[in-house]
Amino acid sequence: MTSQEQKFSQIDEVSSCFCIAKWLQVTIDLVHGTNHSCHHPKRHKIPLDQLAKDPSALHNTLFKKQQRKIMLEGTRPPECSYCWTVEDTEGRGISDRYIKSTDPWAYPHLEKVKQLAWKENINPTYVEVMFDKVCNLACSYCLADISSSIANEMRKFGPYPVHNKSHRDFQETAAELVGEVNPYVEAFWKWFPEILEDLEVFRITGGEPLLNSNTFKVIDYLGSSVSKKLTLAVNSNLCLEDHLIKKFTKGINQLLVEGRIKDFELYASVDTYGQQAEYIRNGLDYSQFIKNVEYFCSEAPSSRVVMMCTYSVLSIPGFDKLLKELSELKKKYSNLILDISFLRHPEYLRANMVTPDLVTKIAGDIELMKELATFSEYEIGKLTRIYDWVSAGATKDQNNLYRMDFYSFVNEYDRRKGTNFLESFPELGEFYTVCRKTKMLLG
Ligand code: SF4
């Protein structure tokens, strides 16, 4: 059995900056015709001339091959600065380069990747794809580039009156630039049959994937083949009409029952409880969401359902109620798990700019998770890490800037959406006053 440290050494033996993700993992945005591997480097354009010659350019662009080349030569690709920063900190910096390279979809292929000349194409084992950005929600923290509802809002109202205006800004899609047929989606369907045999993880993101016919085309395609090592994953806001939820659930359950794929994971997003969750994710119907979670859990029982919480300042007041609701659901459905990550962008919604009383609330929620006795150590650890980050706080300058922008953002958001922040979040009234005073003094 090779230990984790031995695996790390084997990775470094290839070169001090070698990373298998550069060969085997890709996130492809078929709307704008870009990709990156892994998700840390900036997305780069997939040139249409390269794609016309070979659909594998969806992953194996000349640009990416150059990055692989310099990695093999022992030079750090600048686009991977996320990892170099971690590795240059004091102590043993275990960057994602090590973590990803030793993941189950990467490490077993080390020898194959090592033997490959830098110019060669390779099939990825981990693919994440966005077919479309059509989405029925316009979440407060989301981007115009991945939600048509936000793009429409930004066309109508323009930028928010905050310091960093780029967050919700948008650009024209590849499909809009080249006509009705999207060449990237066309190339995907030529390429997918070629890579299926090697695929271990295939994840569909959006937009809302259930609103795009390609998601159902994938399910149909997989229903006519057998992919024994494939984990299929789909993100969804689950705030959709019953007929779509039923069609989707039936299709996935059939894939599992017939043994067409190894596993299925549904990533369903909600960030706090009830009406406050509806404020954060504009367009969400919380009751419908919970009803659909229950439906999927019970009708596709051998799948895994991950509740994804993007934890922002707005998650804090009602998070205990969400935990209690999830705890009851977990008693009924053993296939349901909670995942919490902290929101980084936009900065003005970050939880680490809050006042001390709200930090105490998070500590109480960690205790609540323990008392409920339905959450695993892994799940509790996720909220504990958020507590550590929030309690470390931001710098004074960051607090001032983010609080001013928070105040400006929620007022403008209320104007655009017809919502009322103080009625929705009475527990954040004092924090709102702090932000307003900061804006009056410094804004
Ligand atoms: S080195 Fe880091 S940033 Fe670059 S591909 Fe690997 S994991 Fe991603």
Q: What range does the domain containing 92 cover?
A: 4-122
- Does 133 score more than 70 pLDDT? yes
Question: Do 68 and 208 lie in a common domain?
Answer: no
Show the ligand 1 pocket: residues with CB < 6 angstroms: 19, 21-22, 37-38, 40-41, 80, 82-83, 95-97, 100
Q: What is the pLDDT of residue 166?
A: 79
Q: What is the number of structural domains in the chain?
A: 2
Q: What is the pLDDT of residue 45?
A: 94
Ligand 1 centroid to 350 CA: how many Å? 25
Ligand 1 centroid to 356 CA: how many Å? 36
CATH number at residue 220: 3.80.30.10
Ligand 1 centroid to 316 CA: how many Å? 32
Residue with the smallest CA separation from ligand 1 atom 6 is: 97
Ligand 1 centroid to 7 CA: how many Å? 16
Q: Which atom of ligand 1 is nearest to the CA of 37?
A: 5
Q: Is residue 351 part of a domain?
A: yes
Question: Do 393 and 336 lie in a common domain?
Answer: yes
The Cα–Cα gap between 126 and 2 comes to: 23
The Cα–Cα gap between 136 and 133 comes to: 10
Question: Do 342 and 309 lie in a common domain?
Answer: yes
Structure token pair of residue 416 = 């655009």
Amino acid at 196: L
Q: Which atom of ligand 1 is nearest to the CA of 99?
A: 7
DSSP string covering 349-415:
G-GGGS-HHHHHHHHHHHHHHHHHT-S-HHHHHHHHHHHHHHHH---HHHHHHHHHHHHHHHHHHHH
Displacement of CA 192 from its chain's centroid (Å): 22
Q: Is residue 210 part of a domain?
A: yes
Q: How confident is the model at residue 146 (pLDDT cuts 50, 70, 90)?
A: confident
The Cα–Cα gap between 25 and 419 comes to: 41
Is the entire prediction scored with pTM above 0.75? yes
* Of 41-50, 63-72, 88-97, 116-125, the least confident: 88-97
Ligand 1 centroid to 82 CA: how many Å? 7
| Residue found under tokens 């150590």 | 377
- Does 32 score more than 70 pLDDT? yes
Averaged over 239-250, what is the pLDDT? 98
Q: Is residue 408 part of a domain?
A: no
pLDDT tens readout for residues 357-415: 999 999 999 999 999 999 999 999 989 989 998 999 999 999 999 999 999 999 999 99
Q: How confident is the model at residue 167 (pLDDT cuts 50, 70, 90)?
A: confident
Q: Is residue 31 part of a domain?
A: yes
Question: Do 138 and 108 lie in a common domain?
Answer: no
Question: Do 277 and 142 lie in a common domain?
Answer: yes
Q: Which atom of ligand 1 is nearest to the CA of 100?
A: 7
Question: Do 266 and 174 lie in a common domain?
Answer: yes
Ligand 1 centroid to 67 CA: how many Å? 11
Q: Is residue 403 part of a domain?
A: no
Cα-based angle 412, 417, 420 (whole degrees, multiple of 5): 75
Q: Is residue 383 part of a domain?
A: yes
The Cα–Cα gap between 61 and 50 comes to: 7
Residue with the smallest CA separation from ligand 1 atom 3 is: 80
**Which of 75, 99, 122 is where one domain is finished?**
122
Q: Is residue 20 part of a domain?
A: yes
Q: What is the pLDDT of residue 181?
A: 83
DSSP string covering 29-91:
ETTTTEEESSSSSPPEE--HHHHHH-GGGGT--HHHHHHHHHHHTT---GGGHHHHHHHTSSS
